[in-house]
Amino acid sequence: MAQLDAGDVADLLAAHRNLVFLTSHANTLVVSESRQPWTDMFAGEELGPEWRALILRYPDRFVLALDNVWPEHWSERYVQQIDLWRAALGKLPAEVAHAVAHGNAERLWKLAPAMAGRGCAALNPPFGQ
């Protein structure tokens, strides 16, 4: 998402059929702690109306991503971001939420589909077995 606003994203999605946006750093929790002008897709604890409309219009063009690079990214803030996204996606139609949460990533990177309640790890034995 970088630092684009919803209008810019809408224009780009309309112009480029193969463009997909990752949601990295695009939430209130990251924006509030960063000196970078990241895009905030949220209005409070919900997707902003313009972002919700874009996701509903282009459900196959967004992939949930958090971009956790440094050790501090894997703190309680990670859990809070997951909770924020889980609540926001829970207010979308199930097929749209599924696409954004993992369906689009599975399609784009040819990943095995996650199994309900067991995640992707359920598809493979533990490392070394």
- What's the domain range around 119? 6-123
Within a domain: 96: yes
pLDDT at site 119 = 54
Within a domain: 112: yes
Which residue type occupies 84?
Answer: L
pLDDT at site 127 = 41
What CA–CA distance (Å, rounded) separates 22 from 45? 19
Within a domain: 1: no
Total domain count, the chain: 1
Within a domain: 104: yes
Within a domain: 129: no
Mean pLDDT, the chain cut into blocks of 10 residues (129 residues total): 92 97 88 83 95 98 88 79 94 97 96 70 46
pLDDT at site 117 = 60
pLDDT at site 67 = 83
Smallest Cα–Cα separation from 23: which of 52, 90, 70, 33? 52
Within a domain: 109: yes
Within a domain: 118: yes
Within a domain: 48: yes
pLDDT at site 118 = 58
pLDDT at site 73 = 67
